[in-house]
C-alpha cells in the first residue's frame, strides 16, 4: 500500500477555529427559522411565531459542524426548553464556539405583519462574546464605517449628528437616526429633532436597526437609544463583519438590577466598544428576512415554493453574501411542526 503525504495548504483550517464553510451551514438554520415563523406573520401571536422559529432552528443547528454553546439564547433553562443559555448546539465536531441566536428579532413585527423582522444567528470563537446576564438593557450608539471614529456615546445626540454629517459630507437634515419607539426615548427624540436630523422609528427588532446603519443602501446613518443587551452583542457580531462601530453602556432598569450588575463586577460607567462585546476576528453573522424590510426581503410563499433572502457574513475574510434561496415546501416538514404545504 502506498502512503500519500502532503503539506498543509491554505485551504486546510485549524480545528481550533470556526471553519470558513460554517457560514453556508449557518444560513440553513436562519432560513428554517424564518420559514417556520413566516407562517405566523400577521396572526397576532408573537409567542407562536417565536416558538415555531425556535423549534425549526434547533432542529437544523444540530446538524452544523461545530461544538457550540448558546451564550445568548431564549433565556435560562428553566424558562426556555430549547436554545437556552448554556445549551450545547451543533453536531459536536469541529471548533468550540460561542453561539448567539435570536430566532425572531421582531416578534411583535411578525405578529402584526410589519416590516424588518429577521431570524438571526451569530457564531464566534469560544469565550469571545460578552456575558450579558446581569443587565438586560443597554444604551447604544451604532454607525457605519465613514463616521465610526468620530462618534462618542457620552456626547449629546446633536454633537454626534453634526459629526456624522461632516464625515459623510452632508447636512444634518440629511442624517437619519433609527430609534426604538418607546416612552423612555421621549427626551432623546426631542434632542434629535432639535438637532435637525430625521428619525426612523422602529417598533421592535433593534438587531436589524443596528445593521441598517452600517448598510449604505438602507439610508440610515445612526442608531441611538436603549435596547436589549443581548441584541447589542448580536449586532456587534454583524458590525465586526461590516465595519462601523457599536458603543454601549449598561442600563439597569431598577436598583435591584443595578446592584446585581455591581455584584457581578460590571463598571456601569464604562463605554463598551465593539471589541468588548465580541472579541477576535473570526465572527460569523447570518440573518434571514421574515417580513419585508429595509434590510432583507421577507419569506414569500408561492405554489409549492418558499423564497427567502439572507445576509451571510464572516469578519475574517470580510466577505458579505446576499443569498436568494428557493425551497420546496414538501421538503420542509422536518423543520417545524407547522404544515408548510398549505397556509392554514
Which residue in 283, 293, 288 sits closest to 238, CA to CA? 283
Same domain, 28 and 63: yes
Residues 251 and 293 grouped into a single domain: no
289 and 273, same structural domain?
no
pLDDT of 71: 94
* Residue 230 marked as a ligand binder: no
Is 204 marked as a binding-site residue?
A: yes
Q: Which of 254, 277, 300 is the last residue of a domain?
A: 277
Question: Does residue 45 lie within any of the structural domains?
Answer: yes
Q: Is the pLDDT of residue 95 over 70?
A: yes
231 marked among binding-site residues: yes
Q: What is the overall mean pLDDT for the chain? A: 88
- The pLDDT of residue 305 is above 50: yes
Cell of 234: 448580536
For residue 81, being part of any structural domain is answered with yes
* Domain finish residue from 277, 297, 318: 277
| Nearest CA-CA partner of 252 in 244, 243, 262 | 262
**Does residue 139 contact residue 225 with C-beta atoms inside 8 Å?**
yes
Alpha-carbon dihedral sign for residues 132, 134, 136, 139? negative
Per-residue pLDDT at 20: 62
Whether the pLDDT of residue 145 is over 90: the answer is: yes
Domain CATH for 51: 3.30.540.10
Residues 272 and 162 in one domain: yes
- 5 band by pLDDT with thresholds 50, 70 and 90: very low
Select from 176, 248, 165, 179 the least CA-distant residue to 217: 176
pLDDT, residue 217, reads: 84
Q: What is the CATH number of the domain that holds 212?
A: 3.40.190.90
What is the per-residue pLDDT for 17?
59
Q: What is the pLDDT of residues 9-22, one digit of tens each?
A: 333 334 455 656 78
Q: Is the pLDDT of residue 339 over 90?
A: no
131 three-state secondary structure: coil
Cα 88 from chain centroid (whole Å):
20
Residue 298 φ then ψ, to 5°: -80, -175
In a domain, 319, yes or no: yes
Q: Are residue 287 and residue 273 in the same domain, yes or no?
A: no
Residue 314 assigned to a binding site: no
Lowest mean pLDDT among 18-27, 110-119, 263-272: 18-27
Residue 263 annotated as binding site? no
Bridge partners of 228?
137
According to the model, what pLDDT value does residue 318 have? 86
Secondary structure class of 342 (helix, strand, coil): coil
> Given its phi and psi angles, is residue 86 left (phi above 0), alpha (psi -120 to 50 degrees) or beta?
left
260 assigned binding-site residue: no
Residue 152, annotated ligand binder?
no
Asked if residue 19 belongs to a known ligand binding site, the reply is no
Please give the tally of structural domains in the chain: 2
Mark whether 119 and 217 lie in a shared domain.
no
Q: Does residue 262 sit in the same domain as residue 319?
A: no
pLDDT of residue 104: 96
Stated length of the chain = 344
Helices and strands of the chain, counted as H and E runs: 9, 13
Query: Model confidence at 281, in pLDDT bands (50, 70, 90)?
Result: confident
User: What distance in Å separates the CA atoms of residue 163 and residue 1, rounded to the nearest whole number?
Assistant: 69
pLDDT in tens, 240-272: 999 999 999 999 999 999 998 898 888 999 999
In a domain, 241, yes or no: yes
Q: How far apart are the first and last CA of the chain?
A: 61
How far, in Å, are 4, 10, 11 from residue 7 at the CA level? Answer: 10, 10, 11
Do the annotations mark residue 87 as ligand-binding? no
Nearest C-alpha neighbor of 143 from the set 222, 209, 241: 222
Looking at the fold, whether 270 and 147 belong to one and the same domain comes out as: yes
- Tell whether residue 45 is among the known ligand binding residues: no
**Was 39 annotated as part of a binding site?**
no
In this prediction, residues 64-88 reach a mean pLDDT of 86
Using alpha carbons, list the distances in angstroms from residue 201 to 75, 86, 116, 250. 27, 34, 12, 22
Last residue of some domain: 256, 277, 298?
277
156 and 260: one domain? yes
**For the segment 165-185, what is each residue's pLDDT rounded down to a tens digit?**
999 999 999 999 999 999 999
Grid coordinates of 188? 432623546
Do 318 and 264 belong together in one domain?
Answer: no
* Span 317-336, pLDDT tens digits: 888 999 999 998 876 665 54
Evaluate whether residue 218 is within a structural domain: yes
Confidence of residue 66 (pLDDT cuts 50, 70, 90): very high
Q: Is 105 annotated as a binding residue?
A: yes
Question: Does residue 338 lie in a domain region?
Answer: no
Range of the domain at 188: 137-277
Q: Report if residue 234 sits inside a domain.
A: yes
Query: Is 10 inside a domain boundary?
Result: no
Average pLDDT over residues 290-312: 94
**pLDDT for 91:** 92
Looking at the structure, tell me whether residues 152 and 85 fall in a common domain.
no
264, 145: one domain: yes
Most confident option among 20-24, 71-75, 80-84, 113-117: 113-117
DSSP 55-94: HHHHHHHTTSSSEEEEEESSS-TTT-SSS-TT-EES-S-S
Amino acid at each position: 500500500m502506498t502512503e500519500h503525504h502532503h503539506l498543509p495548504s491554505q485551504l486546510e483550517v485549524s480545528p481550533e477555529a470556526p471553519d470558513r464553510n460554517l457560514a453556508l451551514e449557518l444560513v440553513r438554520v436562519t432560513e428554517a427559522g424564518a420559514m417556520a415563523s413566516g407562517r405566523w406573520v400577521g396572526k397576532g401571536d408573537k409567542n407562536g411565531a417565536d416558538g415555531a422559529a425556535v423549534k425549526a432552528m434547533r432542529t437544523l443547528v444540530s446538524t452544523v459542524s461545530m461544538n457550540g454553546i448558546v451564550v445568548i439564547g431564549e433565556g435560562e433553562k428553566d424558562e426556555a426548553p430549547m436554545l437556552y443559555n448554556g445549551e450545547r448546539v451543533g453536531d459536536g465536531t469541529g471548533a468550540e464556539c460561542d453561539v448567539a441566536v435570536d430566532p425572531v428579532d421582531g416578534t411583535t413585527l411578525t405578529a402584526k405583519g410589519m416590516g424588518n423582522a429577521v431570524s438571526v444567528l451569530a457564531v464566534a470563537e469560544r469565550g469571545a462574546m460578552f456575558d450579558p446576564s446581569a443587565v438586560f438593557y443597554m444604551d447604544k450608539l451604532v454607525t457605519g464605517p465613514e463616521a465610526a471614529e468620530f462618534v462618542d456615546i457620552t456626547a449629546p445626540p446633536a454633537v454626534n449628528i453634526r459629526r456624522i454629517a461632516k464625515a459623510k459630507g452632508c447636512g444634518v437634515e440629511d442624517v437619519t437616526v433609527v430609534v426604538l419607539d418607546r416612552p423612555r426615548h421621549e427626551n432623546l427624540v426631542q434632542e434629535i429633532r432639535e438637532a435637525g436630523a430625521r428619525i426612523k422609528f422602529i417598533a421592535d427588532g433593534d438587531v436589524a436597526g443596528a445593521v441598517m446603519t452600517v448598510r449604505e443602501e438602507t439610508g440610515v446613518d445612526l442608531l441611538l437609544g436603549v435596547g436589549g443587551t443581548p441584541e447589542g452583542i448580536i449586532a456587534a457580531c454583524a458590525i465586526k463583519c461590516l465595519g462601523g462601530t457599536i458603543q454601549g453602556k449598561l442600563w439597569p432598569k431598577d436598583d435591584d438590577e443595578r446592584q446585581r450588575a455591581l455584584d457581578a463586577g460590571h463598571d456601569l460607567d464604562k463605554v463598551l466598544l465593539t471589541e468588548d462585546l465580541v472579541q477576535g476576528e473570526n465572527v460569523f453573522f447570518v440573518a434571514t428576512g421574515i417580513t419585508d424590510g429595509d434590510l432583507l426581503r421577507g419569506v414569500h410563499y408561492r405554489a409549492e415554493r418558499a423564497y427567502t433572502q439572507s445576509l451571510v457574513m464572516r469578519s475574517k475574510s470580510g466577505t458579505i453574501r446576499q443569498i436568494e434561496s428557493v425551497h420546496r415546501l414538501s421538503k420542509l416538514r422536518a423543520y417545524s411542526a407547522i404544515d408548510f404545504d398549505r397556509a392554514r
